[in-house]
A and B are shown apart, each in its own frame.
Chain A
Amino acid sequence: MKTILGLMKFTGAITIDTKSVTENDHHALSNVGALIEHPAIYPFLTGCQNLELYAREKADLNNLVSTLGMKSYINNKSKGYSLGMKQKLGIAIALLNHPKLVILDEPMNGLDIEATIAVRKLIKQYADQGTAFLISSHVLSELQKVMTKVVLISSGKIIVNQEIEKFNEISRRKYKVITENNEAAMRILQNNSIAYSLQDDYLTVNSQDIFQIQDELFEHQIHLEEMAPIEANFEQIVVNILDKERG
C-alpha cells in the first residue's frame, strides 16, 4: 500500500488512471485518499482544523463529519481524542475531496460497533458512487461485509485475485446429505463410485455429484431429509488456500 502511494522504493511500474506514480512524483495521486498505519492527526489542531488542512469543499467536510457521527467533538482539540475518534478522523481525511481510489489499512481498528457500521455504510456509499477501495485487514469477517473482490497476498506474491462471487463458489463445493436411511444410501453411493464421507449423522458429498445422487436415491426409493451446501467460513477458506500454497 505504501508502494502504491509512492512512499517506498520499488521495481516495476505503478499507474493510476494512466498516470505513473514514482517515489518522487505523486501527481497521479491527486484523486487518491489513504489511511496508512496510523491516522495523521495533529494534536494541537481541532478535528475540524485537521480536516480543513486538506479539504477543498466545506460541504464535503461537514457531510463526512455528520455521517461519521463526529459532530459533538469535532471542534475539540484532537489531543484528547480516543483511539476510535482518531480512527474516524483518519478515515474522514482519506475520504475528503471525493477521491477515485481510497486505500485503507486496518480501517476498523479501535472502532466501536456503531462506528464500524457507519464506516461500512460510508464505504458502500462511496463505492456505489464509483470510488474504488483497496482495504487490508486482519479481521476477515469485517472485510467480507464490504468486499467485491478478493486479493490474497502471501510472501509478497498474489495467490488469489478473484471477484467475490467466484471466490464464494469455493465455499459451496461440499454438500451435506441426510436421508431416511444413511446406511443404505452409503451402499448406493459406493456401488456407483460416488465419493462421500460420513460425518456424525450426515454424509458430505461433492457439489458436482448432487444430481446423480438424487437420481440414484429416487431409484432405490430412499427419501432425502436434507441436502444443502456446506458454507465454509471465509477464514477457513483463506487458511486452506494459504496452507495449500505453502505446501
Chain B
Amino acid sequence: MVYSIKQELYKLAHRKITWISAILLLFLMVFTGFAMAEDTKKLVLALTYDSSDFIMFILVIVGATSFSMEFQNNAILTLLYKSANKIEVYLSKYLAIFIYDLFLHVLAIFYTVTLRYTIFRSNVDWNTIYLYHQPIWANMLTASAIDVVTTMLIITIVFLLSCLINSNAIVITVSLLVTFMGQGISSDLTRRQMLVGIMKWNPFNMVNLTRQYGNYITYVITTHLSNLQLLLGSLIYIIIFFIIGYLIFRKKRF
C-alpha cells in the first residue's frame, strides 16, 4: 500500500500541473488581496485570502485527471495487475490527492503569512480575537482544517464521477458545477418549509462548510445546519461517496 501511494506521489510530483497550480494559487491569493475591501482584513487572514475556492478548483482538475491519465495512456491495465487489488489502486490515488490537498493548505497558510508581512502589510495582530472568540491564527488553522474536509468531499465526488464517466472534461465541468453551484441547488432544495428537515441534509449543502465557518450568520440561514452538523454531514458523505465510487471502479471493465 505504501509503495502504491509512493508511486502515485511520484506521478503527481512529475506532472507540471501540480507545480503550476501551486504557483497559480499565490497569484490568485494576491489578486484576492488587492480586490478585498479594507474592512475585511481579518476575514482575509482567517480564510487565507480565499484560498479555499482556488484550492478546490485546482484539486478538481488534478483529481479528475488522476484517473483519466491512466485511461488515456493505457496504463490502467498495468496499474491494476501490478497492484494487490483494486481497493489499493483506488485508495492510493485518493490518499495521494489527500496529501496534495494538505500540501496546498499548508502552502496557502505559508503564502498568507508571507503576504501579510510583504505585499499587504497589515496591522492586524495574529492574536486579535475574531471569529468564535478565538484568535485569528486559530481561525486560520481551523478554517484550513475544515476546508480539507470540504475539499475531500468534492474529491470523493470527482473520483466517483471519474469512474462513471470516461471524459475528464465532463468530470471537471460537473464537479465544478457541484462545487460552485451546489449552494444554489441546495438553497432551492431547502426552500419548501415542509421538506427542510430532510432536504437540509442533501450533499450539496455540505459544500458550504468552509464558507459558513467564515460567514456563519449569512450562510446558516440557507444551510439550516450548524457548523458541526455540516462537518459531520460532510464526513458521512465522504464515506458514502467513497464506497460508491470504489464499487463503480471495481465493476468497471477495462
Question: Within residues 11 to 54 of chain A, which ones have a CB less than 8 A from any CB in chain B?
Answer: 24-27, 29, 32, 34, 36-45, 49, 52-54
Least Cβ–Cβ distance between B89 and chain A, in angstroms: 10
Q: Residue A71 at the B interface, CB < 8 A?
A: no
Question: Residue among B69, B77, B84 with the most chain A CB within 10 A?
Answer: B77
Q: Residue B82 at the A interface, CB < 8 A?
A: yes
Q: Residue B116 at the A interface, CB < 8 A?
A: no
Interface string of B74-97 (1 = CB under 8 A from A): 111111111111100000000000
Interface size (B, Cβ < 8 Å)?
24
Complex Cα distance, B68 from A42, in Å, reads: 12
A44 with B16: in contact, given A24-B85, A38-B74, A39-B74 (CB under 8 Å)?
yes
A25 with B77: in contact, given A42-B69, A49-B14, A53-B10 (CB under 8 Å)?
no
Give the dominant DSSP class at A's interface: loop
Q: Residue A223 at the B interface, CB < 8 A?
A: no
Q: Which residues of B contact A43 (CB under 8 A)?
A: 73
Q: Which residues of A contact B85 (CB under 8 A)?
A: 24-26
Q: Residue A93 at the B interface, CB < 8 A?
A: yes
Structural contact, B74 and A40, CB atoms closer than 8 A? yes
Question: Within residues 72 to 105 of chain A, which ones have a CB less than 8 A from any CB in chain B?
Answer: 93
Q: Residue A2 at the B interface, CB < 8 A?
A: yes
Structural contact, B74 and A37, CB atoms closer than 8 A? yes
A40 with B14: in contact, given A7-B81, A25-B84, A53-B7 (CB under 8 Å)?
no
Question: Residue among A6, A7, A39, A53 with the most chain B CB within 10 A?
Answer: A53
A24 with B86: in contact, given A42-B69, A44-B14, A44-B16 (CB under 8 Å)?
yes
Complex Cα distance, B82 from A44, in Å, reads: 20
Structural contact, A40 and B78, CB atoms closer than 8 A? yes
Complex Cα distance, B78 from A41, in Å, reads: 10
A36 with B83: in contact, given A7-B254, A42-B69 (CB under 8 Å)?
no
Q: Residue B191 at the A interface, CB < 8 A?
A: no
Q: Which residues of B contact A38 (CB under 8 A)?
A: 74
What residue of chain A has the Cβ atom nearest to residue B18's Cβ?
A44
Q: Which residues of B contact A2 (CB under 8 A)?
A: 77
Q: Residue A123 at the B interface, CB < 8 A?
A: no
* Contacts between the two chains (Cβ within 8 Å), count: 66
Question: Residue among B14, B15, B79 with the most chain A CB within 10 A?
Answer: B14
A40 with B15: in contact, given A24-B86, A26-B81 (CB under 8 Å)?
no
Q: Residue A61 at the B interface, CB < 8 A?
A: no
Candidates B11, B77, B82, B253; contact of A42 at CB < 8 Å: B11
Q: Which residues of A contact B74 (CB under 8 A)?
A: 37-41
Candidates B7, B14, B77; contact of A7 at CB < 8 Å: B77
Q: Residue A5 at the B interface, CB < 8 A?
A: yes
Structural contact, B14 and A45, CB atoms closer than 8 A? yes
Least Cβ–Cβ distance between A162 and chain B, in angstroms: 28
Complex Cα distance, B75 from A36, in Å, reads: 10
Complex Cα distance, B16 from A93, in Å, reads: 24
Structural contact, A6 and B11, CB atoms closer than 8 A? no
Complex Cα distance, B183 from A41, in Å, reads: 40
Question: Within residues 160 to 211 of chain B, which ones have a CB less than 8 A from any CB in chain A?
Answer: none
Structural contact, B84 and A93, CB atoms closer than 8 A? no
Q: Which residues of B contact A37 (CB under 8 A)?
A: 74, 77
Least Cβ–Cβ distance between B50 and chain A, in angstroms: 30
Least Cβ–Cβ distance between A15 and chain B, in angstroms: 16
Least Cβ–Cβ distance between B143 and chain A, in angstroms: 33
Least Cβ–Cβ distance between B88 and chain A, in angstroms: 9
Complex Cα distance, B15 from A42, in Å, reads: 10
Q: Which residues of B contact A54 (CB under 8 A)?
A: 7, 82
Least Cβ–Cβ distance between B243 and chain A, in angstroms: 15
Q: Which residues of B contact A26 (CB under 8 A)?
A: 80-85
Least Cβ–Cβ distance between A203 and chain B, in angstroms: 54
Structural contact, A29 and B77, CB atoms closer than 8 A? no
Complex Cα distance, B252 from A24, in Å, reads: 12
Structural contact, A24 and B81, CB atoms closer than 8 A? no
Given contacts A5-B81, A45-B14, 16 further A-B contacts (CB under 8 A): A6-B81, A7-B80, A24-B250, A26-B83, A29-B82, A34-B78, A36-B77, A36-B81, A39-B74, A40-B73, A40-B77, A40-B79, A42-B73, A45-B11, A49-B14, A93-B78
Give 5 closest A-B pairs by Cβ, nearest first.
A40-B78, A40-B75, A38-B74, A5-B81, A24-B85
**Contacts from A to B (Cβ < 8 Å):** 2, 5-8, 24-27, 29, 32, 34, 36-45, 49, 52-54, 93
Q: List 15 A-B residue pairs with CB atoms under 8 Å apart, sorted by A's residue number.
A: A7-B80, A26-B80, A26-B81, A26-B82, A26-B85, A34-B78, A34-B81, A38-B74, A40-B73, A40-B77, A41-B75, A44-B16, A45-B11, A52-B10, A54-B82
